[in-house]
Amino acid sequence: MLVVAAHAVLPSTPAQAQIAALVNGEPITALDVQHRMRLIQISSRKQPTRQEALEELIDDKLKLSIAKRYTINITDREVDATFASIASRSGASPQQFEQMLSQAGLTGAAFKAKLRSDIAWQSIVRGKFQSSLQVGERDVVAALESKTADQKSEVSIEYRLRPILFVVPRGSPQSAVEARLREAEGFRSRFQSCDEGLALARTLPDVAVRSQVIRLSVDIPAQQREVLNATAVGRLTPPDVTQQGIELFAICAKNEVRSTDTPQKREARDQIVNERFQALSKRYLQELRRSAMIEIR
| C-beta separation of 124 from 66 below 8 A | yes
DSSP 180-201: HHHHHHHHHHH---HHHHHHHH
Q: Count CB-CB contacts under 10 A for residue 146.
A: 9
pLDDT of residue 249: 96
Please say if the pLDDT value at position 8 is more than 60. no
Q: DSSP secondary-structure letter at 24?
A: T
Please say if the pLDDT value at position 239 is more than 90. yes
Q: What is the mean pLDDT of residues 108-137?
A: 89
Please say if the pLDDT value at position 12 is more than 60. no
Per-residue model confidence as pLDDT tens digits over 141-196: 777 666 654 444 456 788 999 999 999 998 888 899 999 999 999 999 999 999 99
What pairing do the DSSP bridges indicate for beta strands 154-167 and 245-259?
antiparallel
**Is residue 259 very low, low, confident or very high in pLDDT (cuts 50, 70, 90)?**
low
- Give percent of the chain with pLDDT exceeding 70: 88
**What radius of gyration do the chain's Cα atoms show?**
23
Q: Is the pTM of this model over 0.85?
A: no
Please choose, from the candidates 121, 112, 42, 169, the residue with its C-alpha nearest in 3D space to the C-alpha of residue 285: 121
| C-beta separation of 23 from 62 below 8 A | yes
Q: What share of the chain is helix, strand, coil (3-state, %, to 5)?
A: 60, 15, 25
How far from 201 is each of 49, 81, 205, 247, 254, CA to CA, in Å? 52, 23, 9, 12, 21
Bridge partners of 245, per DSSP, are 167
| Chain-centroid distance, C-alpha 172 | 20
Distance, in Å, from the CA atom of 150 to the CA atom of 164, rounded to the nearest integer, reads 37
Q: What are the residues whose beta carbons fall under 8 Å from the beta carbon of 159, sequence distance 6 or more?
A: 214, 215, 216, 217, 220, 228, 251, 253, 254
| C-beta separation of 284 from 128 below 8 A | yes
How far from 197 is each of 39, 101, 162, 204, CA to CA, in Å? 41, 36, 11, 11
Distance, in Å, from the CA atom of 212 to the CA atom of 161, rounded to the nearest integer, reads 6
Per-residue model confidence as pLDDT tens digits over 82-94: 998 888 887 788 8
Distance, in Å, from the CA atom of 36 to the CA atom of 50, rounded to the nearest integer, reads 9
| C-beta separation of 259 from 154 below 8 A | yes
Structural domains in the chain, CATH included, are: 12-128+278-296 (1.10.4030.10), 154-259 (3.10.50.40)
Of the listed ranges 25-29, 134-138, 169-173, 240-244, the least confidently predicted one is 134-138
